[in-house]
Structure formats: structure tokens, C-alpha cells
Structure 1
Amino acid sequence: MSDDEKAVKIPAQAEGPTQGATLTKDPAPGEVLLKVTGLQKHFPIKKGLLQRQVGAVHAVDGIDFEVRSGETLGVVGESGCGKSTMGRLITRLLEPTAGKVEFQGKDITHLGVGGMRPLRRDVQMIFQDPYSSLNPRHTIGTIVGAPFKLQGVEPEGGIKKEVQRLLSVVGLNPEHYNRYPHEFSGGQRQRIGIARALALNPKLVVADEPVSALDVSIQAQVVNLLDDLQQELGLTYVIIAHDLSVVRHVSDRIAVMYLGKIVELADRDLLYKSPMHPYTKALMSAVPIPDPRRKNAKSERILLKGDVPSPISPPSGCRFHTRCWKATQVCKTTEPVLVELRTGQQVACHHPENFEDQAPQDTVLLTVAKEAAELVADEVLAESAETSAAVAAEVAAEAAAEAVVTAETAEPVVTAEPIETAEATGDAETAGEAAPDASGDDAPDASGDDAPAKEK
């Protein structure tokens, strides 16, 4: 099958019987497709006969990021950090408490059902559980063909032919059109979910842990399928996962979430090579290293103290300060802002790893930090301190070099007059005058109208 045959092109059904229109193509690669600003979702907690609100679960508590066309943004974090809620907010399956979601420059935060219906063609979601996301009473032909009927789209050649082509694209037998979900394995069911998401040729696909419920061998097949479809159809992905190996394979950029916040957002290679946030470093240290030569791999692992705080009453300041081995008073009182400390790498931390300390004046560790440091190997702590000191020295050296360059650049302007005076001094010596007199207030006269007269 050629690439042209694999491409999913679906003409939209127009209102008139003879008119037709085609879905718009994806924006140019590199353009901002999705922009999220200050997004929040608080689930209310109600009690009593009158169901009065007594609190709220801060599932997502103010996140900002952008997704560009053609890229894959991976979102990682431990269970309960708000990853799946964020995905449902982006696709507007949940109503946000606050913040803004923009898709192709249009604010879709509070669009109603009618306003969201056309947008459903461009934004689709692949759900986590392939067993519960498919209706067991429907055939896969009905499941994959449902988006066409809901959107009023009549594909060329009919719905059945298009569904069979989609099944072929995701690696399933088109002849299984009339089978039911229970007749397929977990990996095949996930492929059915992917085919359903691709039915209307979307621009953005949000995949909520698409391989977490699958065997390792099946995971590789689904991940490779997603990668191939992105290359062929120009898709943009937001892939939510907790498997760091999978995220590293498929992502261009990675966002790390902790307790409803994005604590680090960076290019893939930068994040894995030199993570800045202590929580990110702890996550990376938990990845198994299948190398028998790395005998010290276990000692390099960072164990975090205690459990994740409750999202009902998150800690003040930095959310991670109750488990961090570098926490000081500023971490407890002031919430760090997500800022770009290095090109392509943003972090929300007062005392980042692999970079200059952002609060060097605050050096007294909290009691919880001292207790957390007991679980961290001395080699890791020493390496962290050495790296921070080295980066600080490097930053200071760069600042000094910039100051020297600035001074050298400004020097010709400052010494322009003395240079002219020196030239005048030479003319004066030729005329038989003393150098000190030529370098004084008479220097301009020596280079002025009197000089030709003396030479004459």
C-alpha cells in the first residue's frame, strides 16, 4: 500500500446535496497548535444533607505550556499528579475551574456542546484502558464508524469502506469489521481505539497512557504504530505516561508533573542528560539500568521520604519541599515560577540541579530536608554540590568575559581623542615643537589651520 493510499483524507459532508468541502490540513510544522495558560481543575468535596462544599481536590493547579504542530509532548509523573485530568481538560471532556485553553489561536475554554462539535474533528483522545473504552455490545465497525455519524460526515465510498481502510492502517484485518471487542486481544483493542481516534483526520491526538495496560512486546508495536502514523499523517501528540522509557522513545519535549504542577519542561535529551528539578532527578534515578557492569546502579537511586501530600491541602510554597533533600525556608514560603534557565529547559525550583542556585542566600536546610538527605547517597549529594558550584563558576566566568568584551567594545570610543592627539603630537615633533605642548590644549590647533602654515 502506497503512502497516498494510507493517508486518511475525509471529505466533510456539506449541507447541500451536491456541495462538498474538505477538512483543513494541519498547520505548518513549528506553529503553536495548542496553548494552555493557568489551567486549573478543582473537584469539589461536598458533605451533608445540603451537599455543602467543604473542600476541593486540586487535581490540576495552574499549568502553562505550548504544543507545536508536528511535535510530541510527553507528560510524566507518578499516579495522582493530574496527568489524565490535564488530558481531559485539553480535549474539553472536563470543564476547567480556571485558566485558558487555546487551539489554533481560538479560545475553546468555555465553548458549549454546539461550539465544540466542529472542534471534535481536530482534537481526539486515545483512552488508557482498551477494555473499558470500547462498548462490548457494538461491533468494531460500529465503534470506528461512530465519529462519521456523529459529525454527519459521509466518506468517499461509504463508511464501511473507510472503516476497513482505517483498520488496515492500524494493522488489523479489514475482514474483522463485524467482530466484537471481546474477540480481540488487549493490543488489538488499543489499535481499534487508535483507528477510532484517527477516523476524522485530527490535528491533535491526546493519548492517555496508551500502552500501560499492555504487555511489553505489545507496547513496542503500539508505540511504533503511533510513530509511523505521525510520520505519515503529520499528527501532533500529547502522550501521557508514567513509563519513562516509552516517553523517551516517542517524545520531542517532556513535561514533569508533581501534585498538579509542572515542575520541569524541557527537550528530551536535555531532560535525560541533566535534569534540573530534584524530583525529576529522583524519577530518572528510578529507571532500571540493564547493565551488569553498573554495580553502583542501586546506590545511585534516590529514595524519596514519605508519601505524596494530599491534593486536598497541598503544601505551601514549592509542592515538593516536604520530600526534597535541598529544601530551605524560601522553598516553604515562596512558590517557584516555571522559568527558562537554559535554552530549551524550564524549571520551577529555587535550588535546581545541574545549574546555578537561584536562592544562594538561603542555605539553611529544613528539618524535613535533612531527613530526606539521609535517604540520598553521599555520592549523589557530593556530585550535586560539585555540579552546582561548577555551574556557578562557569556563569561567573561568562559574566566576567562579557564585561571584558563590553569594555573592549567601548574602548575605541573612549580613546578616539587621545589617538588624534598622538597623531597631532607626531606632526608637532616634525615641525620642531615639544611633544608635551602638542599633547596639551594646543593639540587641536596643531591639527587645524595652523599646521599647513607651519609646514608652508
Structure 2
Amino acid sequence: MSDDKAVTIPAQTTGEPSGGAATLTKDAAPGEVLLKVTGLKKHFPIKKGLLQRQVGAVHAVDGIDFEVRSGETLGVVGESGCGKSTMGRLITRLLEPTDGKVEFEGRDITHLGVGAMRPLRRDVQMIFQDPYSSLNPRHTIGTIIGAPFKLQGVMPEGGIKKEVQRLLSVVGLNPEHYNRYPHEFSGGQRQRIGIARALALNPKLVVADEPVSALDVSIQAQVVNLLDDLQQELGLTYVIIAHDLSVVRHVSDRIAVMYLGKIVELADRELLYKSPMHPYTKALMSAVPIPDPRRKNAKSERILLKGDVPSPISPPSGCRFHTRCWKATEICKTTEPKLVELRPGQQVACHHPENFADQAPQDTVLLTAAKEAAELVADEVLAESAQTSAAVAAEVAEAETEAETPEAAETPESPEADAPEAEVSEEEPPAKEK
């Protein structure tokens, strides 16, 4: 969470801020927990045959836990097919969860019916990814934006038409275009119409499912700036789902990284980008292009991942990333790591995290898949990973030694207490072998 820090949204979402950027200030302090998700799952059944018997299931979301506080922005990133959009539809109750719990303002809304959810629709809204298919082409934008008032039986002061025209001006559109149809607008303008519809009833939580991915790069910054500006004016809480790490970096307070239906890392924005702990997060960060002409001929340190994302129908055992990870050992294959807070404000699910002491120093033998994956990772990256992990392990060992009482320090067991940590520095070099 950033306090009173100016956020500059570039005209392009692929790196450093550019000249014509607009500057906004993110100064909303975190409030009470607005949304709490516990063990959330969604399995889509696979049926075959004349009798439509279930023969399997797609594990789209497979047990995730997180909280969203009032006034903050949680970014959710990951590859296509990792379950981001399904998660967004689950927390807005557009889909029925298979298991788990969704609590909004302390109230369990996991299995509320259509009638019971209707009053809550005023507080939880969604901005959809495709601005072309999310608007009814047969209705005018006045009818589209005014629909929430009629569905909820709300009569705004001055009438629906006046309120819709006010919303159009809030999102940067001409109020006189009240009677136009969606096909008369560009993609960016249609997304603004979708935003106006979502804000009609002053919601407390807005889930934005890739709000700028379908837009031209020159329009993306405008829409992102609009969302950020509206958050400050109206005190909104956002869950922004995206695959563009640059966009998420500029608008989020905390970021959750998803892989194959699981959250593998959840951290404050600055911590995540400065020192990512999960190998998958580090690979994602390395893929962000840096628009610097001086780096044109420089050797790329991008981490190439081995193969494709495994099928969500039969996800791998243990850590789901072990089939593509260059640090995977036997424990990664057999034991699923839990999402634990290794550093204040940073949770990670990994047995061999980056930029931190190894959580399983006794397991040093790399899997065959890890050796193959290491061939796709630059030597500089592997060397840096080994040095950082060794340095952090030494720091942790030194802190533990200092924390011991003088009597404990004099006992012969003290040197042995540091032995597991010392193994960390010897555990990393095998990853360099090719």
C-alpha cells in the first residue's frame, strides 16, 4: 500500500512513464475488511455420453484465500487460463462456487439466491472485459446505464435521465449522446459506458475483469486514469484482473499472482516488484519489456518457462509449478506448499523461494524437469538467485544467533543450529548445471 504517493500512468503500458502522462495521488488509507474469501473453489464438470455422466472436472479455481480492505486496490495477474476471470465472477456471485466461502462486510454471501442477492447488487458491481459484447446493441446507452435504477427500484434525485447524463460526464463522455447506440462509439468509449453502468448505484466494490486489454494502447492509460480518479472521488474498492503487469503496477496497492487456479504469491506492490519470492512471479517480471534504446543490444535476462501451463483437468501433484520450475526438487513434486507470510506484507507458496532463505534446505536434488527448465534460464539469473538466497540465509542465521541468550550461545549446539542454513549456499549452485 502506498501512502500519499503520486502514481504516473504512462501512455503505453509497457515500462517507464512517458511524456504525456497524467499524475494522480493514491492516498486512500486501508479500512476494514470489505471482502474475505476462504478456500474458494470452482470445478466445471466434464460430461460425456448419452446419459451425460461426469467423467472429470476443470479445476478453474482450486482453493484460494485473500482479503480486500475498504478503499484499496487488489490486482490479480497470471497467464490466460489460470482462473482470474472465474475468480472475479465467483466473488460477484455471477457463478455458484463449488466450495469455500465468500464474505462481504462480514456477511456470508456464498450461496445466496437471486432474490437475496438483489439488494447486494447495489454494493458489488463488475466491469466486463469485452466492451463490444457487454452492451446490448439494441438499447441506447441511456437505457443501458439507467437499467440498474429500474432493476433496483431506485429513483435518483432529478430523474433517471438527469442522473445518467451526469454519469456520462463523470466518465468523460458527452451527456448529449444519451440516445445513441453502442455501435456509434469506439472501444474506449464503450468501456467508459460500462464503467458508468457499474458506478450507477454507488457500489462499494467494483471487480474489473481486464478493463483495458481489449483497448488500443493509447486509450488504455485514459481508462486506467479514470478508474484511479473515480476511486479517490467516490471511495471505491477495486479488484482489478489483468495480464499486463505494467498496468497492475500503476493502479494496485497489493497484487495476487495466480497460477493454475491457485494464488502463489500475494504481496504489497513495492515488495513484489522489488523482490519477488516465487519463481513464477520472477519469470513474469522478466517478461515485462523495458523501452530503453540503450538496452537494444544488451543480452536479455528474460526467463523462458519450459512448456505450456498444465491442464486444469488434471493439475500436477504437489506444487503446480514444479513441471516448469528451475528450482523444483522432490518435495515440490510430493508436497503442496502453503501460502505463508515469509516477510511482512508478502505471502508466498514455495519450498525454494527467491530472495529468501530456503524453506526446504535438506532437499537439494533437482528434478529432471528442473534441469531442463534451468537450460532456458540465463546464467546471470541463476547466479544472482544463488547469491541472493545464500545472502538472505546468512542474514537469517546471524539474526537467529544474535537472538539467542548468552547461555544458549555458549552451548555446543549453537553451531549446529546454523548448519541447515549453511546448506542453502551449497544448494543453489547445482541449479547452474546444464
**Which TM bucket (shorter chain)?**
0.7 to 0.9
Inter-CA distance 257–429: structure 2 relative to 1 (3 Å threshold): closer
User: What secondary structure is seen at the aligned counterpart in 1 of 2:417?
Assistant: coil
The answer for the alignment partner of 1:409 in structure 2 is none
The answer for the alignment partner of 1:414 in structure 2 is none
The answer for the alignment partner of 2:290 in structure 1 is 289
Deviations 1:229-268 (A, max 9, x none): 0000000000000000000010000000000000000000
Inter-CA distance 451–356: structure 2 relative to 1 (3 Å threshold): closer
User: What secondary structure is seen at the aligned counterpart in 2 of 1:249?
Assistant: helix
User: What secondary structure is seen at the aligned counterpart in 1 of 2:331?
Assistant: helix
Show structure 1 runs of 4+ deviating over 2 A: 1-4, 6-29, 292-299, 422-456
Shift of 1:220: 0.5
Cα distance in 2 for residues equivalent to 1:174 and 1:443: 70
User: What secondary structure is seen at the aligned counterpart in 2 of 1:372?
Assistant: helix
Stretches of structure 2 lacking an aligned partner (at least 5 in a row): none
Shift of 1:432: 36
Inter-CA distance 263–423: structure 2 relative to 1 (3 Å threshold): closer
Shift of 1:453: 79
Shift of 1:454: 79
Q: Is the CA contact (8 Å cut-off) linking 1:32 and 1:66 kept in structure 2? A: yes
Q: Is the CA contact (8 Å cut-off) linking 1:127 and 1:208 kept in structure 2? A: yes
The answer for the alignment partner of 1:402 in structure 2 is none
Q: Is the CA contact (8 Å cut-off) linking 2:42 and 2:62 kept in structure 1? A: yes
Inter-CA distance 12–91: structure 2 relative to 1 (3 Å threshold): farther
Shift of 1:291: 1.5
Deviates more, 1:214-223 or 1:440-449: 440-449
Q: Is the CA contact (8 Å cut-off) linking 2:13 and 2:221 kept in structure 1? A: no
Q: Is the CA contact (8 Å cut-off) linking 1:10 and 1:156 kept in structure 2? A: no
Inter-CA distance 431–326: structure 2 relative to 1 (3 Å threshold): closer
Cα distance in 2 for residues equivalent to 1:142 and 1:372: 54
Cα distance in 1 for residues equivalent to 2:187 and 2:430: 99
Shift of 1:294: 3.1
Cα distance in 1 for residues equivalent to 2:365 and 2:427: 71
User: What secondary structure is seen at the aligned counterpart in 2 of 1:7?
Assistant: strand
Inter-CA distance 394–188: structure 2 relative to 1 (3 Å threshold): same
Deviations 1:421-454 (A, max 9, x none): x999999999999999999999999999999999
Deviations 1:23-46 (A, max 9, x none): 999999421000000000000000
Q: Is the CA contact (8 Å cut-off) linking 1:58 and 1:260 kept in structure 2? A: yes
Shift of 1:292: 2.6
Q: Is the CA contact (8 Å cut-off) linking 1:12 and 1:22 kept in structure 2? A: no
Cα distance in 2 for residues equivalent to 1:56 and 1:99: 17
Cα distance in 2 for residues equivalent to 1:450 and 1:311: 30
Cα distance in 1 for residues equivalent to 2:313 and 2:123: 34
User: What secondary structure is seen at the aligned counterpart in 1 of 2:44?
Assistant: strand
The answer for the alignment partner of 1:411 in structure 2 is none
Inter-CA distance 142–362: structure 2 relative to 1 (3 Å threshold): same
Shift of 1:293: 2.8
Inter-CA distance 322–175: structure 2 relative to 1 (3 Å threshold): same
The answer for the alignment partner of 1:425 in structure 2 is 400
Q: Is the CA contact (8 Å cut-off) linking 2:13 and 2:246 kept in structure 1? A: no
Q: Is the CA contact (8 Å cut-off) linking 1:11 and 1:23 kept in structure 2? A: no
Cα distance in 2 for residues equivalent to 1:388 and 1:444: 13
Inter-CA distance 156–7: structure 2 relative to 1 (3 Å threshold): farther
Q: Is the CA contact (8 Å cut-off) linking 2:12 and 2:218 kept in structure 1? A: no
Inter-CA distance 18–41: structure 2 relative to 1 (3 Å threshold): closer
User: What secondary structure is seen at the aligned counterpart in 2 of 1:432?
Assistant: helix
Stretches of structure 1 lacking an aligned partner (at least 5 in a row): 396-421
Cα distance in 2 for residues equivalent to 1:428 and 1:45: 55
Name the Cα RMSD after superposition.
Answer: 15.8
Aligned-pair identity (%): 91
Shift of 1:187: 0.3
Inter-CA distance 114–325: structure 2 relative to 1 (3 Å threshold): same
Deviations 1:345-370 (A, max 9, x none): 00000000000000000000000000
Matches within 5 A, 1:107-122: 107-122=108-123
Q: Is the CA contact (8 Å cut-off) linking 2:24 and 2:229 kept in structure 1? A: no
Q: Is the CA contact (8 Å cut-off) linking 1:437 and 1:443 kept in structure 2? A: no
Matches within 5 A, 1:438-453: none
Cα distance in 1 for residues equivalent to 2:402 and 2:27: 72
Inter-CA distance 296–102: structure 2 relative to 1 (3 Å threshold): farther
Cα distance in 1 for residues equivalent to 2:420 and 2:300: 76
Larger Rg: 1
Inter-CA distance 13–308: structure 2 relative to 1 (3 Å threshold): closer
Cα distance in 2 for residues equivalent to 1:257 and 1:162: 38
1:352 corresponds to 2:328: no
Q: Is the CA contact (8 Å cut-off) linking 2:6 and 2:24 kept in structure 1? A: no
User: What secondary structure is seen at the aligned counterpart in 1 of 2:132?
Assistant: coil
Q: Is the CA contact (8 Å cut-off) linking 2:169 and 2:175 kept in structure 1? A: yes
Inter-CA distance 195–328: structure 2 relative to 1 (3 Å threshold): same
Q: Is the CA contact (8 Å cut-off) linking 2:303 and 2:376 kept in structure 1? A: yes
User: What secondary structure is seen at the aligned counterpart in 2 of 1:293?
Assistant: helix
Shift of 1:22: 33
Inter-CA distance 143–369: structure 2 relative to 1 (3 Å threshold): same
Inter-CA distance 357–424: structure 2 relative to 1 (3 Å threshold): closer
Cα distance in 1 for residues equivalent to 2:66 and 2:267: 11
Shift of 1:317: 0.1
Deviations 1:46-97 (A, max 9, x none): 0000100000000000000000000000000010000000000000000000
Cα distance in 2 for residues equivalent to 1:193 and 1:428: 56
User: What secondary structure is seen at the aligned counterpart in 2 of 1:341?
Assistant: strand
Inter-CA distance 112–295: structure 2 relative to 1 (3 Å threshold): same
The answer for the alignment partner of 1:238 in structure 2 is 239
